[in-house]
Structure 1
């Protein structure tokens, strides 16, 4: 059996000190080393088949070089670009990600948080946080570096990276009114999520800005950000306000559910009812008629959250803003047209 290569073997092959070898192979090295030495050491490590002993590293540094990534729904196509963004920052620094799926269930989330803590992760990026999240607050208070992404936890100092929710809603609302829509309804996201709350507030503010009375516009609140809830809420809106000519969905999946509801009623989009979403999920442009939506930064959001987490792990708390709001962009597609007539029940 071949002997496992060690740092001493690399030092012997390169003629440099063992401590220099160790620093050259550490992606998180704090002290500078010349590029020539780093290349020589790395080339020798590859030739010798050297693999770092993470267990020994953990004992020496009290770090596991792993992070937890908590997501609400592994089947949602919004999250792969976000996870790729996270990994593009963490992997070159030697970190591995442990991804867990909460299914947006509080009990499951608490249990998985405990599992990640038991595994000794060096930090967590949480994309599934509720507005009120005692377990995460307690974990952060204990010293575990945590960044929330796409959502924020209210009343805490936990850093968060979110989208400009209200600017996105304002842009899509203005787009609808530019086509002449006045009877605009909203499928709101769950109220216990910051995305649901902020986008609903954005809808109300946009209505007032365009001279509309929000109390006269139909709003149906979804229990989850998925197609089934979008369909249920769309039926509720069309039953309560059959004159609705446009539905603004708090996310793309809700809007796609509303599209299904229109089809079941014999209505067309945008002929009878215009529809809009939020997020611009991958492949969304391939679904007829092409959903008008708000594009958020997905890959970039993952990168930003990962950079913040790295700073927290290194103890550079001052380098991390408590609030990061990313810009959004209105994406115009064929799901919006001038109102032809009121929707029928």
Structure 2
């Protein structure tokens, strides 16, 4: 730092402020550029370990994701980073594959690296790891999925409103046999969306018919749809997927059975992940503001890191139905 200050022609304290994202705004822009040029010339890299010893912070945040192959989560991580980076924080992302042991191992590894806090998209309704983290006073925020025992802030979408909009849309088209391919009931999203589906069809005086998928994957959705189509009784004219991947799996099964979408079976998803409009047919889906989920989660975590208490509140962001070609009146 002394060498950088000497080459830039500034005091050491000025050089330090210019190279710290949290304080760089306190330095004249021309001076800051001169300091940065000197740092590049000398190959200077701030010693994060030394800084953390001085400040008791590492400016790193652990982000645990249940499935990185699910297109829902990259925009969430992008929103998190868009808040953390300008504040001088780095997100360390780990994939858990929805396995509790793997999640616990990643959590402890990041904690051993002195992560200042955690954002978890891995929430299960019964989640012992979060109970332990709360008892240890570890700052954390949940995103998308929550727990039955509210211990930490949760940022999620208004799932009941989204599911109600999907059912209302299908009923308005004339559908009366509407089935829900639900996500796992052990996850708050699966429970909330299933409950909302039941309430929505009941409001239209229709019978609820629900098939629970073992996971939020296309393969699970395909298996559930195959089982549904082979059951005795009247075939559904419309299917509401617990998420977009379940809906895509259902679409595979519909085609494999020689049926057409939407002529024979209308189909909706949930999350509105990227590229749905490129499918044939383009998938009707409930849009979840995934980037904003990440933004709000990061904002709440920084408040905790800076001393605010971890109030177990829920921030529910509005959702909207995006109507595309996969829904039509029943034939």
**Is 1:274 the counterpart of 2:261 in the alignment?**
no
> CA shift at 1:130, angstroms?
0.7
Is the 1:218–1:237 contact (alpha carbons within 8 Å) kept by the matching residues of 2?
A: no
| More displaced stretch, 232-241 vs 219-228 | 232-241
Match for residue 127 of structure 2 among 129, 133, 137: 133
**Is 1:188 the counterpart of 2:168 in the alignment?**
no
Is the 2:178–2:208 contact (alpha carbons within 8 Å) kept by the matching residues of 1?
A: yes
- Structure 1 residues 322, 179: CA separation in 2 closer, same or farther (over 3 Å shift)? same
Match for residue 329 of structure 2 among 302, 313, 338: 338
> CA shift at 1:154, angstroms?
2.2
- Unaligned residue ranges in structure 1 (runs of 5+): 1-6, 341-345
| More displaced stretch, 290-299 vs 56-65 | 56-65
Which deviations, in whole Å up to 9, do the C-alpha atoms of 1:40-74 show, x marking residues without a partner? 54454344433111111122122222211111111
Is the 1:218–1:241 contact (alpha carbons within 8 Å) kept by the matching residues of 2?
A: no
**Is 1:305 the counterpart of 2:297 in the alignment?**
yes
Q: Which residue of 2 aligns with 1:101?
A: 95
- Structure 1 residues 227, 241: CA separation in 2 closer, same or farther (over 3 Å shift)? farther
Instruction: State the distance in 1 between where 2:30 and 2:241 align.
Output: 55
Q: Which residue of 2 aligns with 1:228?
A: 219
> CA shift at 1:78, angstroms?
1.8
Match for residue 162 of structure 1 among 156, 166, 173: 156
Is the 2:202–2:208 contact (alpha carbons within 8 Å) kept by the matching residues of 1?
A: no
**Is 1:122 the counterpart of 2:149 in the alignment?**
no
Which deviations, in whole Å up to 9, do the C-alpha atoms of 1:170-216 show, x marking residues without a partner? 1111110110011111011101111101111110111122232xxx3
Which deviations, in whole Å up to 9, do the C-alpha atoms of 1:242-283 show, x marking residues without a partner? 331101111001111111111121111111111100001111
Instruction: State the distance in 2 between where 1:272 and 1:31 align.
Output: 60
**Is 1:257 the counterpart of 2:243 in the alignment?**
no
Which deviations, in whole Å up to 9, do the C-alpha atoms of 1:143-188 show, x marking residues without a partner? 2211111111222230111011011001111110110011111011
- Structure 1 residues 45, 317: CA separation in 2 closer, same or farther (over 3 Å shift)? farther
Q: Which residue of 2 aligns with 1:3?
A: none
Secondary structure in 2 aligned to 1:278? strand
Instruction: State the distance in 2 between where 1:31 and 1:71 align.
Output: 33
Match for residue 51 of structure 1 among 29, 45, 55: 45
Instruction: State the distance in 2 between where 1:332 and 1:251 align.
Output: 15
Alignment of 1:3-22 (within 5 A): 7-22=1-16
Which deviations, in whole Å up to 9, do the C-alpha atoms of 1:9-32 show, x marking residues without a partner? 233345544334323322234995
Please give the TM-score of this superposition, normalised by the length of structure 2.
Answer: 0.92
> CA shift at 1:33, angstroms?
5.1
Q: Which residue of 2 aligns with 1:287?
A: 279
Is the 2:18–2:24 contact (alpha carbons within 8 Å) kept by the matching residues of 1?
A: no
Is the 1:218–1:240 contact (alpha carbons within 8 Å) kept by the matching residues of 2?
A: no
Is the 1:219–1:237 contact (alpha carbons within 8 Å) kept by the matching residues of 2?
A: no
Q: Which residue of 2 aligns with 1:174?
A: 168
**Is 1:91 the counterpart of 2:85 in the alignment?**
yes
- Structure 1 residues 142, 34: CA separation in 2 closer, same or farther (over 3 Å shift)? farther
Aligned length in residues: 330
Is the 1:85–1:301 contact (alpha carbons within 8 Å) kept by the matching residues of 2?
A: yes
